[in-house]
Amino acid sequence: MFSVVHHPSTTLLQRPDFAQYSNITENTLKALALCKNLESIAWIDDSSTTDSTLLSFIAVVREHPLQEISIRTHSDLGTAVWSEINTLSGLRKISIWCMEGPPRVLQGWSESLGSTLTHLELGLPKLKDLRLKGAPATAIPTIMAYLLDLRSLDTEYPGSYYNRAYRRSSDNHLPPPSFPALRQLTVRTSSIDSFGPQKLWGWIRELIPKPSLETLTLHAFTINSGHTSIPRMFILDLAFIHGETLKHFIVGEAQLTMGDIECLCTKFPNLETLVCSTASPDIVYSISAAKNLQTLRLHVQWIPSDLSLNAEEFTLQHATSLMLRTEGSKLRTIAIGPTLYTGKWVLKEPEEEDQECALMFQVLSDVAEDRWQT
């Protein structure tokens, strides 16, 4: 890991020993040239000028068996840097994000990287992992039709979408188009288009027409319309195809009713993770069918009908009871709002010398991680 250190004159006057690092870039390049087995490099730079230094690093690493390159900069890389990057061959993973500058695509890279690239952060036949921002909803199915090895897709649903050529229904016997068998699908959206969020659900189903999906993640943000509600029919349609494969249903603050949660736990017997928003933390009955559930995270949006009564607070004891609700329960992580409960079996040291160690179930509480982390 390399970092740029800036020392103002006042610092150098107080600490003259810092002046010995004036040749840090030159020394770093010499050291980097010795790393003959280097396969991965990450470059992070928030300065206003990146061309000369980054070009020097590219000149060195191109002599190594580089397979992965990740670049994060505030400024545009510039034409000179892009021209040099485009000449790199043998790469399997590329991740480039620049805060400034015009959008750039991978012109000319398909010939040199088509046989090796598997991770990209656009028709490369071996691509397995794709995170795509800004593409219209109508383009995503077309892109996927060329990426038959794709296993993970993270994309946006920016607006209205309707596919007249192919609509899935129970009486539609037409074979679906050639699509990859996605295992992870992440969709980011905000329900601001004139058709509302309902168009989203059919679009998602079209991306996953064959049994394969293990993780569905939805980041849905609404504007002046409350929380996004997930239709029961979408859950049933999803279960019809992916009932035996889906393990993680992560929809953030999208709203599910108690009946929806019960339906999920019944229709997806291998469900391990459930993250959603609901009206109450009292869901013992609703998750009773989820024999493999390991992680439960709820954003509770409950408002009591009688505002003079305080809602019962979810406590450590509630978390313990929920984790041990059945003899074979696998539930060990529960997050209710900002509080995270984690349970595990531990050996308790004996209080007396003639006693043996006892196995006890311990639940600890902590503050849940940032909910906006994506």
Asked if residue 175 is part of any domain, the answer here is: no
Total domains in the fold of the chain: 1
**For residue 112, what pLDDT is reported?**
74
- Is 67 inside any structural domain? yes
Bridge partners for 198 per DSSP: none
DSSP H/E element including 267: helix 258-267
- pLDDT of amino acid 125: 65
Q: For the chain, give the mean pLDDT.
A: 80
200 in any annotated domain: no
Q: Band of the pLDDT at 191, cuts 50, 70, 90?
A: low
Mean pLDDT of 191-202: 63
What confidence tens digit (pLDDT) does each residue in 255-295 have? 899 999 999 999 999 999 999 988 877 788 899 899 999 99
Q: What is the pLDDT of residues 205-223, one digit of tens each?
A: 999 999 999 999 998 876 5
The answer to the question of residue 123 being in a domain is no
Instruction: Output 71 or 74, whichever has higher pLDDT.
Output: 71
pLDDT of residue 8: 59
Structure tokens belonging to residue 291: 């024999």
pLDDT digits (tens, 9 = 90+) for 118-170: 777 644 567 888 888 777 888 888 888 888 899 999 998 876 555 544 444 44
Question: What is the Cα–Cα distance from 241 to 318, expressed in whole angstroms?
Answer: 35
Each residue's pLDDT tens digit, 220-244: 876 555 667 889 999 999 999 999 9
Closest CA to 121 of 92, 146, 141: 92
Cα separations (Å) of 192 from 115, 133, 163, 171, 188?
40, 17, 19, 31, 13
pTM score, whole prediction: 0.67
- The answer as to whether 282 is a domain residue is no
Domain-embedded: residue 5: yes
Of 104, 110, 92, 112, the C-alpha closest to 146 is 110
Does residue 293 lie in a domain region? no
What is the mean pLDDT of the segment spanning 56-80? 86
Query: 94 is in which domain, residue-wise?
Result: 1-118
Average pLDDT (94-105) is: 73
- Side-chain-side CA neighbours of residue 328 (13 Å): 5
Answer whether residue 270 is part of any domain.
no
Mean pLDDT of 97-114: 69
Q: What is the pLDDT of residue 233?
A: 94
More confident residue, 343 or 62: 343
